[in-house]
Amino acid sequence: MRVLIITSSPNAAGLTAACGEAARHGIVDGHSSARVVNLNGLNIARCAVCEDGWGTCRSEHRCRIDDDFQSLHESFRQAEAYVVVTPVYFGEPSEALKAVFDRLRRCEATRKDEPSALAEKPVVAIAAAGGSGGGAVHCLAEMERVLGKLGADLFDAIPVTQRTREYQLETIHDALVALVSSRPSAPAASPSPREERRPPRPTRGRRRH
């Protein structure tokens, strides 16, 4: 199974990155391939709200803004499952993720004659919050709503704080092992250089990511 992991934090050593890494380990331990994309390294504009409010997003199911959303949109089409990790900002997903959700929803949730590119594909949503964790549940609810509009199948929604970090990173790992083990994989495309496979990890053990 080809799993796309989306993160969106500027902190390479932060909680969001650690959650993405735990997910990646779970995917490769479940004999699947993972690709991590940090939205903060991409150039993705907000929706331009073309013409009277709709543009090619509704008529052609593609966004007309020529930026990194184009290749990301293709990555969403190609992937068979997703992990979406966001830092919690003001009780909501990051600005970078919201910009992607906005444009993806316009392109994919408007399809009438064919399913959304995300339809019925499993997704694990993860909200990485501060010490209090205030807003993490609200953030996950927002993600659930948009992912539902996109037709994705919410496999799990996991709140993580600095306090719960150690055991929730294990949970993320195990959720991804369960996800990739739960469905048959489509015939494998050749893995890209950024994809990798690792041998399985025998049992759930206490370890730091």
- The footprint of ligand FMN (CB under 6 A) covers 9, 11, 14-17, 87-91, 128-130, 132-136
Residue 175, token pair as written in the block: 């959720």
118 or 129: CB nearest ligand FMN? 129
Least distance in angstroms from the C-beta of 86 to ligand FMN: 8
Least distance in angstroms from the C-beta of 115 to ligand FMN: 33
Strand partners for 160: 128
Residues 6+ apart with CB under 8 A from 37: 4, 5, 6, 7, 72, 75
136 or 179: CB nearest ligand FMN? 136
Residue 75, token pair as written in the block: 């990555």
110 or 171: CB nearest ligand FMN? 171
75 or 164: CB nearest ligand FMN? 164
Least distance in angstroms from the C-beta of 172 to ligand FMN: 14
Within a 10 A sphere around the Cβ of 91, how many other Cβ atoms? 15
Contact 127, 136 (CB under 8 A): yes
Instruction: Select the residue whose beta carbon is closest to ligand FMN and give its number.
Output: 14
Least distance in angstroms from the C-beta of 9 to ligand FMN: 3
Which residue type sits at 149?
K
Least distance in angstroms from the C-beta of 96 to ligand FMN: 12
User: Taking the CA of residue 4 as centre, how many other CA atoms within 13 Å lie in the half-sphere pointing to its CB?
Assistant: 19
34 or 127: CB nearest ligand FMN? 127
Q: What is the C-alpha to C-alpha distance for residues 139 and 126, in angstroms, rounded to an integer?
A: 9
